[in-house]
Amino acid sequence: MGTKGKEIVGVDVGNLIEMLNKALADEWLAYYQYWIGAKVIRGPIRGEAVTELEQHALDELRHAGMLVVRIIQLGGTPILKPEDWYKLTNCGYDAPVDPAVKRVLEQNVKGEQCAIGVYRAMIDAVKDKDDVTYNMALEILSNEVEHEEDLQALLEDIALIK
């Protein structure tokens, strides 16, 4: 990476790269959970739910890209093997084995709540120490907060169906 760019990072770069790779594992698993969920989901307001799940899948994939850019800037190696997603993930993977809309949305809410915690912790770790990672984590956190609210709003709509 750029030497001056690395010099201004006030945290242990190895630990930071590890934290970024763990978040990268989460984003890939979240991407697939949304992507496959959008295909198998069945039940009330399915169309609206599919639109939301597909949008979120694209956001998670974009987050994965942002993390990889930062890992490489820091001189790290991003996860190269999918098997490492499971080894490094913070938030895990919830297979949508029950395709009911409500169940799939609830699983994804749980994932978003975990992601919010992950980026909250990343922000705390780099605040005033690594502005570039801070900025990235802040942007991702705002997306995850929006995702949680979108899903919970859909669940509220479903609860109103008589």
Q: Which of 17, 29, 122, 144 binds Fe ion (CB under 5 A)?
A: 144
Site membership for Mg ion, residue 150 (CB under 5 A):
yes
Shortest separation between residue 162's beta carbon and Fe ion, angstroms: 30
Site string for Fe ion, 11-30 (x = CB under 5 A): ----------------x---
Site membership for Fe ion, residue 147 (CB under 5 A):
yes
What, of Fe ion, Mg ion, none, does residue 150 touch, CB below 5 to 8 Å by kind? Mg ion
Q: Amino acid letter at 93?
A: Y
> Among candidates 37, 68, 77, which has minimal Cα distance to 54?
37
Region binding Mg ion by CB under 5 A among candidate stretches 25-33, 53-61, 77-85, 120-128: 53-61
Shortest separation between residue 150's beta carbon and Mg ion, angstroms: 4
Residue 23, beta-bridge partner list: none
CA distances from 139 to 62, 66, 123, 131 (A): 11, 10, 10, 12
90-103 burial, b at 16+ Cβ within 10 Å, e below that, comes to: ebebbebeeeebbb
CB atoms < 10 A from the CB of 34, how many?
24
The nearer residue to Fe ion, 22 or 147, going by C-beta atoms, is 147
What, of Fe ion, Mg ion, none, does residue 148 touch, CB below 5 to 8 Å by kind? none
Alpha-helical (H) ranges within the chain are 3-7, 13-40, 46-73, 83-88, 101-126, 131-160
Site membership for Fe ion, residue 63 (CB under 5 A):
yes
Which residues contact Fe ion (rule: CB under 5 A)? 27, 60, 63, 144, 147
